[in-house]
Every structure is written in C-alpha cells, then in structure tokens.
Amino acid sequence: MKNRGSVSLLRSRRAKLMAGAVVLGAAGLLSAQTIVPSQMALADAVRVDAQAPTDFSQVVRTVSPAVVSVQVKQAVEPRMMNFGGKDNSPEFFKGLPEGHPFERFFREFGGRGGEEGQNQRRSPRQYGMSQGSGFFISADGYVVTNQHVIDKGTEFTVIGQDAKEYDATLIGADKRTDLALLKVEGDEDFTYVEFAKEAPQVGEWTVAIGNPFGLGGSVTAGIVSARGRDIGAGPYDDFIQIDAPVNRGNSGGPAFNMHGEVIGVNAAIFSPSGGNVGIAFAIPASTAQDVIMELKDDGTVVRGWLGVQIQNVTDDIAESLGLDEARGAIVAEAQEDSPAEKAGLRSGDTILAVDGASVKGPRELSKIIATYDPDTKIDVTIWRDGEEQDVSVTLGRLQEKEQAAAASQTEKTKTSLDELGLVLMSREEAGLEGKGVFIAEIDPDSAAAEKGLNPGDAILEVAGMKVENPADVIKALEKAEKDGRKAVLFRVEANETTRFVALPMNLA
C-alpha cells in the first residue's frame, strides 16, 4: 500500500509537470530561463486588415479618355552661315585655283571675292517638335500640362486616346510652379477629371497615365513615396514623390488616386541615366488647382512681393541670435526700394510669422507671401535685438528678375585670423569698390570653409556690427566673446547676394 501510494504520488506530480510544460510550449515560452509573470503582458503588434486592389483596370478605364498627348511646335533660332572670305573658308578650299567649281560656289555665296555685305547669310527658319502629356479639367476643353512642355512653343496640338487631333491655344503659363493651361476648341463635350480635395497619404496607391517617349496612353502604377519634397526646382517646391514609373514624355500628365482624382501633375524625375529609377515628382493638386484657376481667369499668376533675401536659421545661427530654437527665416538683405525696406525690415531680422502663421523656414515664407495679392497689408513677426516685434508691411507685386555678378581680388596688406581660418583685407587695400571686408584666403580645413565661405566673399557685418576693415572684425569678435557667445554671426556678400554664416567662437 505504501509503495502504491508513492507511485500514485509520483504519477500525479509527473502529470502536473507535463501539463505545465504543454501550457508553456503552447505559449511559446518554453526556455531554460526563469519566466517572469509581467513578461506575459506584452502588447500585440499592430496590424492592418486593408486589402490592396486586385488591379487598376476600373480606374484606368474611367479616367483614360481625359488624358491626352501634347505636341508642341517650337521655332529654332536660325544660325548665321559665314563664308566670309579667305580667313573663314575651310583650309581645303583656300588653295583652289581661279575658276574651280567650288571656288565659284564660295564666291556666289559671299566667299572668296564676294562683297562684304554678302559674307553672311541667314539659314532658313527651322522648327523643332517636343511632346509631353496633359489632361482635360473641363468639358469645354481646358487642358493642364507643364510649363516646360509648352515653353517656346508656337503651335500646340492635343491628341486624345482615340488618336483624334485638336488644335489648342495657350491660355497662360507659370514658370515658377511649372504649370500651363491650354484650350481646345470643339463642338463636343470632353471627358474630364477633377483635382483631389485631400492630399494623398504616404503609401497610397497611385496610377500615372501619359505619353512616355511618344507612346501615348501608357499606364504605370506605384505608391506615394513621400510628400513635401524640395528638389530645388523653384521657390515653391512642395512635390509629391511617387514610385510609379515615369519617363520623358510623362511630363504634364496626371497621377491618380484610386477614386480617379488627380493628386498631382507629373513634372520631374530623378535619374542618373535619364530613364526611370522609381523616383518621380508631381506638383500637388492643391498647388495646381490654385495656379490653374488664376491662369484661366487672367492668363498669368500675380503674387505678392516682400523683397528680402532670406536663408535658413541653423542651430548655431539661432544660438548667436539668442533664439530658443532654430526657426523662421533670417533676412540676409532687404532689397532696395522693396516693401520690406520701406517697412523697416533689415538684415539680421528673423521672420517668425506672417499674420500669425508660423514660418518654419525660407520655403514656407515664400509660399505664404505668394498667397497674398499685391497691395495687401500684412503683419510680420520678427526677432530683433533679443525680442519679438511686429512690423506692418504692404506687399508689392512680384516681378521676374535676373542678376549678374562679378568678383576680383588683389594682393596687398593682409590680416590673418588663424582661429577662424580667415585672411582678411580691406576692400580699399584689395583695390575694390563697395562695402565690407574682403576675404583674401581661407584655410580649407577651417570652420569657415565648411560653412561655404570662399576667397572673394565680403564680410559686411559681424555680430550685428558693420565692418569696414579687419580691425572692425577683430573688435566685433572680441565683443561677442566677452558676451559669452558660442558662435558669432557673419553677414557675407558673394555674387551680389548676401547671407548669414555662424562661425564657432574659439578665440584664445
């Protein structure tokens, strides 16, 4: 009886151990380590039950009739053909005897023996053809495309999916956003599409339809890869990045969401080879819709103008200004006779907000100002002398401008600031006109070189103090060091453009 009881007890204990092992094994926790009860309460991983479309045929079938190819006839500047006498004749023809057929040819066309007035002949006017994509946005024939597609065009032809051709008229174009509007005249109602009212989410499906390499009606699909891309194309960059294959000829074509709405106008690709590598950029529907409506009304886009050269506020610039964080856009220069200058804005001011809307950086400021009409009065919040101030500005009208620049330097008396890697001269000593201190040399391993300063640049201000000679620079640096600044702000001019550069204070 005693043995039977012991056996039963062992069997009971063995059964309980086996049951525990089964439970632990089922939970995936069977290991040689001690099990801590709190480890059993881990949160479940996130998961999504959304289903991807089996195909895109319904979207493509619905929107394709609204997508067109755009052919543009462009005038090519005629070249001057010069057969101007012996000096301009090919070497092969210079020794030809009198009466030779080729010699007579050159004489007849203003060559050897010809009159001075016959030395140049204008070649016949030539034309080139370019092509892109576009799409109808109204039943009465308005077509959206890119500005670079129709640039320098003299005649425009829109070709539908059924290969039917229509003559088109250019209503207007906006170079800054790379958008253009054409108008097709016809007795029929055209199938058209609408711009999406909401911005797409990263990861959404998108379908691109266009005319790559002249292959009209081509369809590709992908996802929205990113939003808010700045690719350096212009002051209002805010591109949607997609990975749907886009190639040359897709420019001006639409990128659709799964509702058949246009989320963007395909405008550019990133490609070392010139072909698709899965990185394309589309102008957002929100931007396109606003610009196109203005083009439709007036044939042009009118924007407000503040008149400042601005740049990003970096961490070291923020520290040198006493800002709590890097934000806003610092004014490198208020342009002469601009609304900014008339309102009292000056270099060194940091624009933090416009009418209460925060300014994160130069791109945001440009976009905000562009939304206002000329002659609009706005309140600009700036950071000046360690505190916020409000300045009232009446905007002007933005005009296209081109700038030219030149630089020179002369060797004379120099002052070295070894700690900053700078060798300086007064502009007078350098034989130059203008204001500021001339940078004669820069140590390539210095912080100044890392910040992009170059020989030939001019230092206009140091820590808010105007400088005219190297001694002024040293005086300003000493004051900044005395004030406990870890970085000092230089206002620098290069190629007629001014900017701010913050250099670390490490003077002995």
User: What letter represents residue 232's amino acid?
Assistant: G
**Sequence-distant (≥ 6) Cβ neighbours of residue 263 within 8 angstroms:** 196, 199, 200, 206, 224, 240, 255, 256, 257, 282, 284, 285
Look up 178 and say whether it is catalytic: yes
Which of 64, 130, 133, 148 is catalytic? The answer is 148
Active site residue 392: no
User: How many beta carbons lie within 10 A of that of residue 74, not counting itself?
Assistant: 15
Between CA 361 and CA 234 the distance in angstroms is 15
- Can you tell me the distance from the alpha carbon of 105 to that of 90, in angstroms, rounded to the nearest whole number? 13
CA–CA separation, 252 and 172 (whole Å):
14
| Residue of 215, 199, 212, 218 lying closest to 262 (CA atoms) | 199
Sign of CA dihedral 378, 379, 381, 384: positive
- Of the chain, the end-to-end C-alpha distance in Å amounts to 96
> What is d(CA 19, CA 297) in angstroms, rounded to the nearest whole number?
80
Rounded alpha-carbon distances, angstroms, from residue 229 to 202, 221, 225, 279, 338: 12, 20, 10, 11, 30
Output the DSSP codes for 246-291.
--TT-TT-EEE-TTS-EEEEEEEE--SSSS--S-EEEEEHHHHHHH
What CA dihedral angle connects 294, 298, 301 and 302, to 10 degrees?
-110
Do 251 and 266 touch, CB atoms closer than 8 A? yes
3-state secondary structure of 496: coil
Element at 308 (helix H, strand E): strand 308-312
Torsion sign across C-alpha atoms 147, 149, 152, 155: negative
Q: Which of 178, 237, 243, 349 is catalytic?
A: 178
| Contact between residue 489 and residue 317 where contact means Cβ atoms under 8 Å apart | yes
Checking DSSP bridges between strand 422-426 and strand 437-442, what pairing results, if any?
antiparallel
CA-nearest of 137, 266, 146 to 206 is 266
Q: Which long-range contacts (CB under 8 A, 24 or more apart) does 15-21 make?
A: none
Q: Which of 251, 320, 347, 426 is catalytic?
A: 251
**Can 251 be counted among the known catalytic residues?**
yes
How far apart (Å, rounded) are the C-alpha atoms in residues 12 and 395?
A: 91
Tokens 């204990």, residue located: 13
The alpha carbons of the chain give a radius of gyration, in whole angstroms, of 34
Please provide residue 217's backbone torsions phi and psi, each rounded to the nearest 5 degrees: 75, 25
Which residues are the active-site residues?
148, 178, 251
